[in-house]
Amino acid sequence: MNTLEQQLSANLTQMKDWMDTMHMQPELSMAEENTSRYILDVLKTFDGFEISENVGKYGIVASLKVGDSSKSIGLRADFDALPIEEHNSLPYKSQVPGRAHLCGHDGHTTMLLAAGKYLSETKNFNGTVRLIFQPGEETMEGGPAMIADGLFEKYPVDAVFGMHNMPGLETGTFHFAEGEFMAAVDNWEIILEGKGGHGSMPEKAIDPVVAGSALVMALQTIVSRNVNPWNQAVVTIGAFNSGTVGNVIPQTASLKICIRTMTAEDRILVLDKVRSITKTQAESFGVTAQIKEGVPGAVLVNSEQETAFARDVARKYFGEDRVVYPAKPYMGSEDFAFMLQKQKGNYCMVGNGDTLMVHHPQYVFNQEILPTGAAYWVHLVEEYLK
């Protein structure tokens, strides 16, 4: 543990209190009114911050300027929860049925708050640091909403940085890579409409279940037969809903699909194939198809210079043995990708230890890494704004 981690660990009880409060009252994406208000209340206890709220609905930007430098840095954390029932026996377990912080966003926000508190007390830098608290990451809405609301025009930064906990990685280790680091995700729904009828007379009906089943299998050929085997892509059908009883051929079927790609070119290719295969499969079975396309995805691309900077800061203060470079890319997605389209920067992973994966109903954010993440943010600011 480095010196600053040890120092910040003295405030671990307060950090846990911040996180526990958010964890017990989770709010879903773009509906985080109370969480946003709580973050604001905490920020107002820090000295010197200029706070802007309602950026991209519930987003917050807290700016702290020290000295005379025009240089600036942005640090971003998310704070939305998931529509999943928590199956843990934690003393701070979610108190809202069907909702829980099972991705660690409450921990991310806590680490940034702890860094902000320390920076406001020490002010050991020359320039402006902007703490960006973002809603709506899980639905890929919050980042674009803050950008559309003038995030980088109203609160300019020279570079922006983000961080996510990752189960399975050694506790407190940092993982960096430049270039494509996380996949673009496109969440779509395909609605097939046939002709309902009696299960005993299929000839008088047009069965959307059979059409949908064939479509599920056909969509699996996109990656295996169109994407370069050296590249990464995946098409997942996570929900197939149709009918209610066994002796009725339903009128409609719905397929909810998740499309992930690691390059902009593969994204165009795969999405076009989903459209064309859906159209031709529907025609061959005599059903109609409607595709509801979600928020357009974006590949998260880390800039080379900022990645090298962040990596070197971590090496300097945490040691070579706690830094992994180059880290492997992830097929998970992050709407921080949209911020990196507008401004250079880096997104890294910090090890959560041997825990269940994020989005699992028994996932637990390792609170022992709260001082680790906060210390990383502080070191990044103090080095960037020397």
Q: Position of tokens 């902007």?
A: 130
258 appears as a binding residue in the annotation:
no
Cα 185 from Cα 111, distance rounded (Å): 26
Q: Are 141 and 81 in contact (CB under 8 A)?
A: no
103 appears as a binding residue in the annotation:
yes
Q: What is residue 82's DSSP assignment?
A: B
C-alpha count within 13 angstroms, C-beta hemisphere, residue 180? 18
Cα 118 from Cα 379, distance rounded (Å): 11
Q: Are 151 and 132 in contact (CB under 8 A)?
A: yes
Question: DSSP states of 256-321 as a string?
Answer: EEEEEESSHHHHHHHHHHHHHHHHHHHHHHT-EEEEEE-SPP--EEE-HHHHHHHHHHHHHHH-GG
Question: The tokens of 242 are what?
Answer: 């149709």
Q: What is residue 153's DSSP assignment?
A: H
Cα 56 from Cα 145, distance rounded (Å): 4
DSSP H helical ranges for the chain: 3-9, 12-24, 33-43, 105-122, 142-148, 151-154, 208-219, 221-226, 264-285, 304-318, 336-342, 370-384
108 appears as a binding residue in the annotation:
no
Q: Which helix (H) or strand (E) holds 348?
A: strand 345-353
Q: Are 236 and 219 in contact (CB under 8 A)?
A: no
164 appears as a binding residue in the annotation:
yes
- Cβ neighbors of 131 (< 8 A, separation 6 or more) are 43, 49, 60, 61, 62, 63, 64, 75, 77, 112, 115, 116
What length is written for the chain? 386
| Residues making up the binding site | 103, 105, 138, 164, 359
| Residues making up the binding site for Mn(2+) | 103, 105, 138, 164, 359
